[in-house]
């Protein structure tokens, strides 16, 4: 559940963007008293995501509209499956159609892609797939929800949630050991300390200095194996950067704990969902 205070402003901004000047076409052609029913329908196999957002879009246009859910978030829908319905004023429904679809196509697209990555992990593996902070500006909370809906995990939420020491932090601090020491001394005790390493020697230094998580940057397959062997039992091993669906099984079998995939949120194609509206002609 996304708190109303978090969800509504995102939805309201999107509606204002499209509707600030009203809906010329609908006002010109549709009588105010016309009623309609509409079904959001999958146009292909997708992982469904966005029921709450769909509902909020129509409520922020016209609170008298009635929305019902036919397919829960996280379920796999086949082409033709009804996901949600909305009924009430035809004008109100037509005004919200595009914005509602823009949200749920994007969220379901992310959930669907996340599911593909998760399904690429061998059944007996505990490797987890996570997102990154490469989210769409303004939509992080929704996209992270879509990632979870797809069965993947979230990485840290914000720069203020957890510590991840990258190359520039290491240079600025004067080395891995000093960076980790500073992070342990100054960072919150609730955060693990993750360090990005670029070589086996950096990995060794990070482990010796007490990193909780090591992120392997551009390691060759054999080096990934060696890194896992070295780190096992001392720190979690995360791999990131240029991850493809095909590499997931290899990384999982290598014993990598976490694979973080920026594409989940920055390059997921929109899922195909349509809104079939039935309006009745009014009067003579």
Residues 180-209 contacting its own copies, CB under 8 A: 182-183, 185-192, 194
Binding mask 129-158 for its own copies (x = CB under 8 A): -x--xxxxxxxxx--xx-------xxxxxx
- Using CB under 8 A as the binding rule, the residues of this chain from 8 to 67 that contact its own copies are 9-32, 34, 36, 59-63
Residue that has been written with the tokens 């973080």 in this structure: 260
Count CA within 13 A, CB hemisphere, residue 249.
6
Measured from the CB atom, the residue of 123 and 159 that comes closer to its own copies is: 159
How many CB atoms within 10 Å of residue 53? Answer: 24
CB of 27 to its own copies, least distance (A): 7
**Listed residue (275, 280, 284, 281) closest to 95, CA to CA:** 275
CB of 270 to its own copies, least distance (A): 4
Question: Is residue 81 close enough to count as binding its own copies by CB under 8 A?
Answer: no
- Using CB under 8 A as the binding rule, the residues of this chain from 242 to 271 that contact its own copies are 257-258, 262-263, 266-267, 269-270
Helix (H) or strand (E) holding 278: strand 273-279
Question: Is residue 165 close enough to count as binding its own copies by CB under 8 A?
Answer: yes
Whether 118 contacts 147, CB under 8 Å: no
Which of these is catalytic: 196, 205, 238, 257? 196
Whether 37 contacts 84, CB under 8 Å: no
- Give per-residue burial for 219-231: e unless 16+ CB within 10 Å, then b: beeeebbebbebb
Question: Is residue 85 close enough to count as binding its own copies by CB under 8 A?
Answer: no
Catalytic residue IDs: 98, 134, 166, 196, 217
């Amino acid at each position: 559940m996304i708190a109303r205070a978090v969800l509504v402003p995102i939805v309201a901004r999107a509606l204002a963007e499209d509707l600030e000047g009203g809906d010329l076409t609908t006002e010109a052609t549709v009588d105010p008293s016309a009623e309609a029913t509409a079904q959001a329908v999958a146009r292909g196999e997708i992982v469904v995501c966005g029921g709450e957002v769909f509902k909020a879009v129509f409520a922020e246009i016209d609170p008298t509209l009635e929305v019902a859910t036919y397919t829960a978030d996280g379920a796999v829908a086949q082409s033709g499956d009804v996901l949600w319905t909305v009924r009430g004023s035809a004008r109100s429904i037509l005004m919200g159609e595009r914005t509602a679809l823009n949200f749920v196509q994007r969220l379901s697209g992310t959930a669907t892609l996340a599911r593909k990555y998760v399904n690429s992990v061998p059944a007996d593996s505990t490797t987890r797939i996570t997102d990154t902070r490469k989210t769409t500006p303004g939509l992080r909370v929704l996209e992270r929800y879509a990632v979870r809906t797809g069965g993947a995990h979230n990485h840290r939420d914000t720069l203020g949630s957890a510590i991840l020491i990258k190359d520039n932090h290491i240079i600025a601090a004067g080395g891995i050991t000093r960076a980790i020491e500073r992070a342990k001394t100054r960072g919150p005790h609730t955060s693990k300390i993750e360090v990005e390493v670029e070589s086996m020697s950096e990995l060794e230094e990070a482990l010796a200095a007490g990193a909780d998580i090591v992120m392997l940057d551009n390691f060759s397959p054999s080096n990934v194996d060696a890194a896992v062997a070295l780190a096992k039992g001392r720190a979690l091993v995360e791999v990131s950067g240029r991850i493809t669906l095909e590499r997931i099984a290899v990384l999982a079998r290598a014993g990598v704990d976490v694979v973080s995939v920026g594409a989940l949120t920055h390059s997921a194609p929109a899922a195909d969902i349509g809104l079939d509206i039935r309006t009745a002609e009014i009067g003579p």
